[in-house]
Amino acid sequence: MRRRPLRALIAAAAWALAGAAAAADGGGGGGAPRAEWVGTYRWEGKSDRFGGFSGLELDETGAAFLAVTDRGAIVQGRLTRDGRGAVSAVAAAPPVRLLSRHGKPYPPHLADSEGLALLPGGGFAVSFETWDRISSYAGFGRVPLREDWIAVQVHFRANTGAEALAALPDGSLLFLPERPGEGEGDFPLLRLAGDTVTQVGRLRHDPGWSAVGADFGPDGRFYLLERDYWPLVGFRSRLRRITLAGEADSGFAVTEDIVLMETRAGRHDNLEGLAAWRDASGAVRLTMISDDNFSPFQRTELVDYRVAE
């Protein structure tokens, strides 16, 4: 009997898995999606620091942006959008490396930046995984005003630390680990205020899904981007809209948790960064950016969804 080449076997397995996953491309649970795809733009850059985007923030118009890579670099730029509101072009400055409080570039083991949040009144914060810490910057500076080593207060599993980051109106920061700790079950919702980390709630964790991006929308709700990976096929993405009740100092309770969309494997690349904004019609838009892991087999995508309800 003639043997099929290994490449053909892998391709056949990938197509079979993609077919099985196709039913998940929608709003989850077989219902109509609550977030509609608007467009996908493939962004290409020439700098050797381009790629690996893990965090994204936009201004209130969805045009000016700040992005962070998982090698400790930031990029500023501006998006052009078409009539539907999808990204059609990107103009950006070259990536620049974030520096330590001593004004020096981070060594590779300290440069795994993941989450990004704009701070009230200006500036931004970046969460770093592995050696878990959150650094805060004034304006678009490269040297942090402060560096809070959250690893001394909260212990995460290896390579699953502070990933999704969002700013509260009072300037404190909410963050989630990529995955819950051993035996935890659900995600701990953590808050950094000053130099103190406290747990202020829990968010549901479903098997297979990792928390990779977060933002508070213009409607005051908490938007969470999650990722799953199917070998040979690609990444799945899921967006959740979560309504939190309570106060930051006393803790939050979840009053509503809706899956807005859930894609099949391979629909998008490795979406990690999330920014929520409101368009001219009043609809909430969710713009995401993918981490290509600096791999020629992946791509940097800017993906737009519009919340339908």
Residue 107's DSSP bridge partners are none
Q: pLDDT in tens for each of the 309 residues of the chain?
A: 333 343 333 333 443 344 444 334 544 444 556 999 999 999 999 888 999 999 999 999 999 999 999 999 999 999 999 999 999 999 999 999 999 999 999 999 899 999 999 999 899 999 998 889 999 999 888 999 999 999 878 888 777 788 999 999 999 999 999 998 877 789 999 999 999 999 999 999 999 999 999 999 999 999 999 999 999 899 999 999 999 999 999 999 999 999 999 999 999 999 999 999 999 999 999 999 999 999 999 999 999 999 997
- β-sheet with 271-278: strand ranges across: 35-43, 300-307, 284-290, 271-278
How far is Cα 265 from Cα 227, in angstroms, rounded to an integer? Answer: 10
CB 268 within 8 A of CB 287: no
**Residue 243, CB-side half-sphere exposure with 13 Å CA sphere:** 5
CB 186 within 8 A of CB 205: yes
**Residue 168, CB-side half-sphere exposure with 13 Å CA sphere:** 19
**Residue 102, CB-side half-sphere exposure with 13 Å CA sphere:** 4
Confidence (pLDDT) at 309: 76
Select from 210, 200, 278 the least CA-distant residue to 240: 210
CB 273 within 8 A of CB 54: yes
- List CB contacts of 27: < 8 A, sequence separation 6 or more: 33, 34, 35, 259, 260, 261, 262
Select from 148, 259, 131 the least CA-distant residue to 204: 259
Phi, psi angle pair for 21, to nearest 5°: -85, -15
Global pTM value: 0.90
The pair of structure tokens assigned to 195 is 């130099």
Residue-wise DSSP of 203-261 = E---TT-EEEEEEE-TTS-EEEEEEEEETTTEEEEEEEEEEEEEETTTEEEEEEEEEEE
Query: CA 184, 187, 193 angle in degrees (round to 5)?
Result: 115
How far is Cα 276 from Cα 233, in angstroms, rounded to an integer? Answer: 28
CB 77 within 8 A of CB 95: no
**Hey, is 93 helix, strand or coil?**
coil
Confidence (pLDDT) at 157: 79
**Hey, is 19 helix, strand or coil?**
helix
